[in-house]
């Protein structure tokens, strides 16, 4: 079978849509396949830092003001709170707000933009078999597509990654997990005696409930995203009981935790060279998730952008796409994952001494830590990595 497209992309989450946008804008023929019909849900707390907004501005020419006006972002909040169980470790305002989005809305918006740019998007197309060496895929209805290049943007359970010769046990050993539910702001439970954080306008994160992970309450316009996430191997069957404890701590019935959905989360099992022959992996499929807070949307957007640019360089001037993609990963993404993992080890190990190590770390770091979270500074020794927002 000869190539049907320049690039076939499996998965239309933020990583796939961004790669498609970059390539389609440059005039390459791009096919995007997704098993879902959009809008579709994706379990996610939907918090975006400055560095994610920066990619949206660069690749999609979006502005945060425009995204707020159209409802793609539903909330912008500069406030934050960090707790060790009930004790406030830090609270205040950042130099730049966190933006919150519902993934149903966000992912559909980015996909629509890729379609407008010229990408051929086919929904309800489940890929069931992949030949990474030939950049070809087969759907469950038997249809086959082949690109000159293939991009696996199909999330944490990637079928494209599974078809490549990567070390499966290392992947599994570093996998994390998360559980979450969305509580509508109109829910009568919120009118009762609940924890004050459920009425706060700012996101709150909680240490002290998981030995290797954390909990969160993120205040979207119409609902609260309440969840817990961390390292799977360390917690295994422990997640649900810990989530029950967290939900009860918030003054909510533990039954909400029982009904909550779970989802895999790369948590330190990132691939350093996520490619095989003409096939590349981006986003969760490559494990590109920050390894302390589990932030993945920026890494999906940025790796999609880097892969799109690398493939455009290959298609237009014969560059080696893996060399170009690898260089971008080593410059912008991998140092953040390596150093956030070092920091995580330190913080998680020190939790056994209670709240004091976290308190010293957060108070000592001050504004620099905020800049690190938003991506102006690196997790690597807090070195400056970007000019930051114009404010
Ligand atoms: C509970 C939870 C909360 C989170 N909260 C945050 C947060 O607040 N902020 C943040 O930055 N990150 C957060 N993350 C991480 C973030 O959700 C992911 O990192 C991000 O979605 C990765 O994007 P992606 O495009 O790589 O993959 P996905 O968004 O997972 O998209 C993959 C796409 O591939 C499609 N697909 C899969 N298999 C196939 C197949 N066989 N054939 C065709 N299509 C297929 C799927 O339908 C899907 O549309 C959270 C994760 C979890 C689990």
**pLDDT tens-digit readout, 118-133:** 999 999 999 999 999 9
Residues above pLDDT 70, as percent of the chain? 100
Does residue 177 form part of some domain? no
The answer to whether the predicted template modeling score (pTM) of the entire model surpasses 0.75 is yes
> Is the residue at 295 inside a domain?
yes
Residue 263 lies in a domain: no
pLDDT (tens digit, 9 = 90+) per residue, 256-310?
999 999 999 999 999 999 999 999 999 999 999 998 889 999 999 999 999 999 9
- Could you tell me which of 121, 142, 143 has the C-alpha nearest to residue 9? 121
Sheet holding 47-48, edge to edge: 47-48, 87-100, 75-84, 204-207, 213-219, 223-231, 175-184, 261-266
In a domain, 13, yes or no: yes
Report how far ligand 1's centroid is from the alpha carbon of 154 (Å): 8
Rounded to 5 degrees, what are φ and ψ at 182?
-115, 125
Tell me: pLDDT of 115 over 90.
Answer: yes
Q: Could you tell which of 59, 152, 295, 296 is best to mutate to test the pocket of ligand 1, judged by most ligand atoms within 8 Å of the CB?
A: 296
pLDDT (0 to 100) of residue 211: 84
Instruction: Judge contact between 123 and 38, C-beta under 8 A.
Output: yes
For residue 344, what pLDDT is reported? 87
CB 153 within 8 A of CB 10: yes
Using pLDDT thresholds of 50, 70 and 90, give the confidence band for residue 378. very high
Q: 44 alpha carbon to ligand 1 midpoint, in Å?
A: 8
Task: Give residue 391's pLDDT band: very low, low, confident or very high (50, 70, 90).
Answer: low
- Cα-Cα-Cα-Cα dihedral of 377, 380, 382, 384, to 10°? -40
Within a domain: 32? yes
| Cβ atoms of residues 228 and 215 within 8 Å | yes
- The answer to whether residue 205 is domain-embedded is no
* Residue 251 CA to ligand 1 centre (angstroms): 29
Tell me whether residue 204 is in a domain: no
- Nearest CA, atom 10, ligand 1: 295
Predicted confidence band of residue 354 (pLDDT cuts 50, 70, 90): confident
| Protein residue with its CA nearest to atom 51 in ligand 1 | 44
Atom of ligand 1 nearest to the CA of 297: 11
What is the rounded CA–CA span in Å between residue 244 and residue 19?
39
For residue 266, the CA-to-ligand 1 centroid distance in Å is 10
Neighbours of 299 (CB within 10 A): 29
Cα(356) to centroid(ligand 1), Å: 34
Strand locations in the chain, DSSP E? 5-10, 30-33, 47-48, 75-84, 87-100, 120-122, 127-131, 136-139, 144-152, 175-184, 204-207, 213-219, 223-231, 261-266, 275-276, 279-281
Domain CATH code at residue 142: 3.50.50.60
Total count of domains within the chain: 1
* 91 or 367, which is more confident: 91
Diameter over CA atoms, the chain: 64
- Residue of 10, 154, 210, 286 best suited for mutating to test ligand 1, as the one with most atoms within 8 Å of CB: 154
Task: Give pLDDT, residue 225.
Answer: 98
pLDDT in tens, 229-252: 988 777 778 889 999 999 999 999
* Dist CA 12 CA 126 (whole Å): 12
Q: Which residue has the tokens 């020419």?
A: 61
Q: Which domain holds residue 133?
A: 5-74+99-169+268-355
Predicted confidence at residue 349, as pLDDT, reads: 80
The answer to whether the beta carbons of residues 375 and 49 sit under 8 Å apart is: yes
What burial letters (b/e) apply to 191-200, b meaning 16+ CB within 10 Å? eeeebebbeb
- The predicted structure's pLDDT at residue 231: 85
What is the tens place of the pLDDT at every residue in 19-67? Answer: 999 999 999 999 999 999 999 999 999 999 999 999 999 999 999 999 9
The label of the residue with tokens 């589990």 reads: 294
């Amino acid at each position: 079978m000869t190539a049907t497209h320049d690039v076939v992309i499996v998965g239309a989450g933020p990583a796939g849509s961004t790669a498609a946008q970059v390539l389609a804008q440059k005039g390459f023929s791009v096919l995007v396949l997704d098993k879902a019909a959009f809008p579709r849900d994706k379990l996610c707390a939907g918090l975006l830092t400055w560095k994610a907004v920066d990619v949206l501005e660069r690749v999609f020419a979006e502005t945060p003001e425009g995204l707020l006006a159209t409802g793609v972002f539903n909330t912008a909040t500069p406030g934050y709170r960090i707790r060790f169980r009930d004790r406030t470790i830090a609270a205040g305002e950042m130099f730049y707000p966190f933006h919150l989005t519902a993934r149903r809305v966000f992912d559909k918006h980015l996909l629509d933009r890729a379609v407008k740019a010229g990408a051929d998007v086919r929904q309800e197309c489940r890929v069931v078999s992949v030949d990474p060496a030939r950049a070809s895929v087969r759907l469950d209805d038997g249809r086959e597509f082949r690109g000159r290049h293939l991009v696996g943007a199909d999330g944490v359970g990637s079928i494209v990654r599974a078809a490549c010769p990567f070390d499966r046990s290392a992947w599994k050993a570093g996998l994390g997990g998360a559980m979450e539910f969305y509580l509508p702001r109109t829910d009568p439970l919120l009118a009762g005696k609940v924890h004050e954080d459920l009425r706060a306008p700012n996101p709150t994160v909680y240490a002290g409930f998981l030995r290797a992970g954390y909990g969160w309450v993120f205040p979207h316009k119409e609902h609260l995203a309440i969840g817990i996430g961390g390292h799977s191997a360390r917690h295994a069957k422990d997640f649900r009981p810990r989530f029950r404890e967290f939900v009860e701590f918030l003054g909510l019935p533990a039954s909400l935790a029982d009904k909550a959905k779970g989802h895999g989360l790369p948590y330190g099992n990132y691939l350093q060279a996520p490619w095989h022959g003409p096939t590349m992996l981006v986003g969760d499929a490559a494990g590109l998730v920050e390894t302390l807070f589990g932030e993945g949307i920026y890494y999906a957007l940025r790796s999609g952008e880097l892969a799109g640019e690398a493939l455009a360089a290959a298609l237009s001037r014969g560059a080696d796409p893996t060399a170009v993609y690898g260089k971008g990963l080593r410059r912008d993404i991998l140092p953040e994952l390596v150093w956030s993992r070092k920091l995580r080890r330190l913080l998680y190990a020190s939790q056994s001494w209670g709240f004091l190590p976290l308190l010293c770390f957060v108070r000592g770091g001050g504004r620099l830590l905020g800049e690190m979270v938003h991506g102006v500074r690196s997790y690597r020794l807090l070195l400056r990595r970007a000019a930051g927002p114009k404010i």
